[in-house]
Structures are given as structure tokens and as C-alpha cells.
Structure 1
């Protein structure tokens, strides 16, 4: 009796679970049937791997509908058209954006709406003529679509890395590291000399700074002298030149005004020349007469040599 009772209990439990699942499915389908839906067509100009019929449609991360159909564009098979239904109470506007997002780690994709402002007109989503919304490519979609090129680039990178780490390059790198180690050891051995050299450089730098300060001071003093005293000398020279110019102008004016008198004076001086010669001859005769009187006064008075007039030389 006990095994039969266990089978009855298990069967009853299975029947209740099946009935509950059936009731839940009916309730779910009735709930979905009672909701009002708006229909939109999402256009993709790239591959939609991972997106399939029944996948959820989200708005800012909240599920608002699902995907009904996936079809290729008959005019351009590289484009995909996805028919989705969204709760009619959710406003889908003209500036609302659509795109793909990763639903889970298995690679399943979902359609997500985002954006949309209240000042933009609302789209009327009819099942017979659903409005088209072009989807924006997502970062994950670009990664998936460009995966092949990325793998090729990664392969090229590995090939180049293998070339870089070839045996010849490894030997050269080892030699370079050994040389660098020897150079560093040599520097460490000469560190006292290096410290002394750096101290000399520091002393020279301080002296150069002091010299630069002195040169700057001399330059400032010279600039001050040229600015103040030099300006005074230039002013005095300017005044002297002005005075000289005034005197020169006066001399020129006097010369011009007395040009006739000066010419007559020079002519009169030329006429005085013969008179001056006669006067000079007379003075010579007087000097000769005086000497004769001193030497022989009696002969001159009582008859002596006749006085000869000195000719003008």
C-alpha cells in the first residue's frame, strides 16, 4: 500500500504543477492580449547577430515590449528590418534613438530605446504601417563586426613581436643590457669624482649668477647715467649750437649790411701803401742823419761829406 500511496502523491503533485503552469501561461497570454500595443519597425544597416524573435525591447533598461519579426530589406539585403511591439502607453517620439545592447553573457541581444524629448512629436505605431526608426550602431556591435579585422591585427602584432624577439635581437638586447650594466658600474666606481665635478659645476653656476647680477647692476647704472646726465649734456650742446647759430646769423647779417663799407675800406688801405713807403724812406734818412751827428757832428756842420739820401730798398 505504501508504494502505491507514494505514486499517487507524486502523480497528484505533477498534475498540480502542470495545471499551475497551464493556468500561468493562459493568464500571461490573456494579460498580453489585453494590453494595447504600438508597432514600430527598427532598421539596421549592420549585422544583428544575437537578436532573434521574442527578444525583449527595452526603454532605458526597462522592458516595454518584444521583437515580433526579423526580415532582410528586399531593396538592400545588407540591411535588417525588425518589427517590434511596444506598450502603447510608452511614448516613442521622432527623436527617440534605438540600438542593440547585450542581454546576457551568451551573446543574446536586445533592442533598447533611449532619449526622446517632450517637444518632439510622438510616432503613431500601427501594425499595418509601422513607422521606421533607424538604429544607431552600438559599441558592442562595432566590436563584433570588426572582430575579424581586430583578430587580423592581433595576429600581425604577434608576428611582429616574434620578429622583435628573434634570437639575434635577443642576443643584441642581452649585449646592450650587459654594456649598460658595465657603464653603470663604471659610473658607480667614479661617483666621488662625479660628486666633485657636480660641486664644481654648482660653484661655477653660483659665480656665474653673481657675475650676471653685477653686470645687471652696471647696466642699470650706465642706463641711469645715459638717461639723466647724458640727457643734460645733450641739452647743453643743443643750447650751445643754438647760440652759435645765432652769432653766425648776426655776422652774416652785418656782413651783408656793410658790404659796401668794407669794400671801400679795403680800397683805401690799398691807396695808403705808397704813402707808407715814403714814410718808411723818410724814417730811414732820419736814422742815418742821427747816426752821422753822433759820429761826426763837426764835419756835418762845417762841411764834410755831403749827406746822401738812402735809397729805399
Structure 2
């Protein structure tokens, strides 16, 4: 009886030791697990098509963890939180970037982390014991897939327009246009010699025109010089003639004033003075005409050119 009780105590002690060893092993494993992995929340501002619980998390192409859960943001349903568990040795820092990328052609997506270029970055830590957050960069491919329907619609419209552009009528029109262009270039090639001769004659005519313009410029310069020289002299002569005429008229007025009584009584004196006054008046009119022509058209008067009459339709 005593031997049996002793064996029971030995067995109970053995079970107690084994249980304690198992509990210690579990606790040690849990501690090691907590030390080997860290948890982060990756925030996406887009649809996470192909991403699910257990999806791979890579860092520069190396698997460092997986997705533990997915949930929508209660404040903004357009945002998706993906909680990931990654290796504690992974260099996740404050400038680390995240992106959703497809894994081949199977439709499965993964989260790819990449290092930033900020030399002052620090290890990513949460605030007040919260899970650190990494804001993902929008994926161009995901955006393209999301807008695939619009892209297909636009592609169909482009195909329809291309079909209309290359219709039989338009192709025939283009063919006729090319045929006409070929005929035109052939005609130009046939008249190649005539065109060369015409261009040569045009060059000769241009040289003659330049020479004529040079002669006209010389003639205009000589005319201006003649007008400047002789015109001034003629104007001075006309001014002298007008001054002499005015002095003569003054003398005549004085003579008439002094001999007014004799002229009134003598018919002979009036007959002699009358023609002289008439001649003096004609001379005054001629001098005024010459002076007016010199003022208005000095070149025509000096060169003897007739004034051109204005054409009236």
C-alpha cells in the first residue's frame, strides 16, 4: 500500500514538472515571437484589389512579413487600413514608402515597402503606444485598372473614328489627290528648263530695275539741288522786282497826288498817264503769277514741266 502511494506521488510530481516545462516553453516562444515581429498599419487611399489576409509584405523585393487584417476607415470608407506584421529587423523608418503591386498575372496583390532618401530619418515608432502608420503611395497600375472601363470606351471611340477615317470614300479621295499631285510634279519636271530660263530673265529684269532706280535716285537728287540753287535765286529776283515795283508805284502815287489838278483839267495828261497805269497793273499781275507759281510748284516752273491734270472718272 505504501509502495503504491509512493508511485502516485512520483507520477504526480513528474506530470507537474512536465507541465511546468511546457508552460515555460510556450512563454519563451511567445516572448521570442513578440520580439521577432513588429506591427504596422498601412493606409491606402485606393481600392486594394487582390489584397487579402495573409498576403505577402516585401521590402525591396524580400519577404519580411504578411498581412494580418484588413478594415475600412469608419471616418472615411474610401480609406483602407491593412495591418501588417513584419520582421523586427526590417529597416522600417519614418521615410519608408509603401505601394500596392500585383504579384504576376494571378490577380493577387502584395504590399511592397521601399526605403526613402531622407538622411535624417528615424525608426518608425507609434505615438503613445499606438500602432505606427505608413501612408501608401497610389499605384499607377491600380488607377489604370480602376479606370479601365473609361479607357476601353475611349479606345472603342478611337477605333470607330479610325474606321470612318479609312472609309472607302476617303481612301478614294486620297488616291485621287495623290494622282493629281503626281501629275503636277510631272508637269513641273517637264517645264524645268522653261522655269530656269524664266528665273534667269527675272534676275536680269531685277538687275535692270535696280539700275533704273539708281538713275532715278540720281535724277531726283540733281533736281533737288537745282531747285534749291536756282529756286532761291529766282525767289530773290522776284522779291527784288516786287520791291522795285512797289517803289515805282509809290512814285506814281506821289506824282498823281502832286499833279491831280493839272490831270483833272488836261485831257492830254490823262491820255498819257492812263496807258502807263494799265501797263503797270499788267506787270503787277504777271509778277504775282510768277511768285505764286514759284511758291506752289517751283520745280515745274524752273524745269518747264506742265502740271498734270487730275483724272476724274
SS at match of 1:135: strand
Q: How big is the shift at 1:139?
A: 1.9
Question: What are the within-5 Å matches in structure 2 for residues 1-313 of structure 1?
Answer: 34-35=35-36, 37=38, 40-52=40-52, 53-58=54-59, 66-84=66-84, 89-93=91-95, 97-107=97-107, 108-113=109-114, 115-118=116-119, 124-125=125-126, 128-157=129-158, 169-170=167-168, 172=169, 183=179, 187=183, 195-223=189-217, 225-226=219-220, 228-233=221-226, 235-236=228-229, 239-240=232-233, 243=236, 247=240, 259=250, 262-268=252-258, 270=260, 271=262, 274=266
Distance (Å, rounded) in 1 between the aligned partners of 2:121 and 2:223: 80
Distance (Å, rounded) in 1 between the aligned partners of 2:267 and 2:172: 120
Distance (Å, rounded) in 2 between the aligned partners of 1:70 and 1:76: 15
Specify the alignment match of 1:302 in structure 2: none
Q: How big is the shift at 1:180?
A: 7.4
Q: How big is the shift at 1:231?
A: 4.7
> TM-score scaled to structure 2, two decimals?
0.52
1:90-138 deviations in whole A, cap 9, x for unaligned? 4323xx6543334434343333446453467875345942454443322
Distance (Å, rounded) in 2 between the aligned partners of 1:241 and 1:112: 104
Gapped regions of structure 2 (runs ≥ 5): 1-29, 273-313
SS at match of 1:104: coil
Q: How big is the shift at 1:63?
A: 6.2
CA contact (8 A) 1:98 1:136 kept: yes
CA contact (8 A) 1:57 1:84 kept: no
Distance (Å, rounded) in 2 between the aligned partners of 1:129 and 1:179: 76
Count of residues paired in the alignment? 234
CA contact (8 A) 1:70 1:83 kept: yes
Distance (Å, rounded) in 1 between the aligned partners of 2:174 and 2:158: 25
1:8-40 deviations in whole A, cap 9, x for unaligned? xxxxxxxxxxxxxxxxxxxxx999754574x54
Alignment CA distance shift 1:175-1:238 (3 Å): closer
1:243-295 deviations in whole A, cap 9, x for unaligned? 3686489669968xx95x65332234553784967xx9xxxxxxxxxxxxxxx
RMSD value over aligned CA atoms? 4.9
Distance (Å, rounded) in 2 between the aligned partners of 1:116 and 1:159: 47
Distance (Å, rounded) in 2 between the aligned partners of 1:97 and 1:238: 95
Alignment CA distance shift 1:160-1:173 (3 Å): closer
CA contact (8 A) 1:124 1:131 kept: yes
Q: How big is the shift at 1:145?
A: 0.9
> TM-score scaled to structure 1, two decimals?
0.52
Compare CA radii of gyration and give the structure with the larger one: 1
CA contact (8 A) 1:67 1:84 kept: yes
Q: Which moved more, 1:154-163 or 1:202-211?
A: 154-163
CA contact (8 A) 1:69 1:82 kept: yes
